[in-house]
Amino acid sequence: KAVAFGEALKPEFKTYSGQVIANAQALAKGLQQRGFKMVSGGTENHVMLVDLRSIGMTGKQADQLMSGVNITTNKNTVPFDPESPFVTSGLRLGSPAMTTRGMGTEEFTEIAEIIADRLLSPEDEKVATACRERVAKLCDRFPLYPHL
């Protein structure tokens, strides 16, 4: 814990945490512009919860679609969720991992487009392939270990 507290005291951490929030807000805004509903209307932190009921999809289905294009998400219950906790009506997304790779708001806007494209075309394998390719290009531009 002492190391974590020490890191949190550094000016770089303040910059990083501000970018994490800005990126999450860019992602939420991008999804909202494509018609997705956010629980609580958006986000004020590093995570957001998308209510998928308006597109007739479950969290489980969405999580599987995202996994298929190499985007990590979690199914999550939403308020007054009619689905079981094993299925859910929500999809939880976060920004820290991609921010750590160096991505900014421009990339998060693109990620929102990729997510929306895939979720709105769940049966279209051409869309799935295009989404996977876009994710791979982003990851190539922002490698986990750029010095290796």
What pLDDT does residue 7 have?
Answer: 85
| CB contact at 8 A, 31 and 38 | yes
The answer as to whether 105 is a domain residue is yes
The answer as to whether 101 is a domain residue is yes
Question: Which helix (H) or strand (E) is 92 found in, with range?
Answer: strand 90-94
What pLDDT does residue 16 have?
Answer: 95
The answer as to whether 148 is a domain residue is no
What pLDDT does residue 96 have?
Answer: 97
Q: What's the order of all strands across the beta sheet hosting 47-51? A: 37-38, 47-51, 90-94, 74-76
What pLDDT does residue 82 have?
Answer: 97
Number of domains in the chain: 1
What pLDDT does residue 42 have?
Answer: 94
Instruction: Identify the CATH number of the domain in which residue 88 sits.
Output: 3.90.1150.10
What pLDDT does residue 2 have?
Answer: 87
The answer as to whether 15 is a domain residue is yes
The answer as to whether 86 is a domain residue is yes
- Domain ranges, residue 108: 2-141
The answer as to whether 47 is a domain residue is yes
Name residue 51's beta-bridge partners.
37, 90
What pLDDT does residue 148 have?
Answer: 75
The answer as to whether 70 is a domain residue is yes
Compute the distance between CA of residue 115 and CA of residue 69 in angstroms, rounded to an integer.
9
**What is the DSSP secondary structure assignment for residue 74, as one 8-state letter?**
E
Instruction: pLDDT tens for the chain, 148 residues: list them.
Output: 788 888 889 999 999 999 999 999 999 999 999 999 999 999 999 999 999 999 999 999 999 999 999 999 999 999 999 999 999 999 999 999 999 999 999 999 999 999 999 999 999 999 999 999 999 999 999 999 888 7
The answer as to whether 37 is a domain residue is yes
Q: What pTM did the predictor assign? A: 0.94
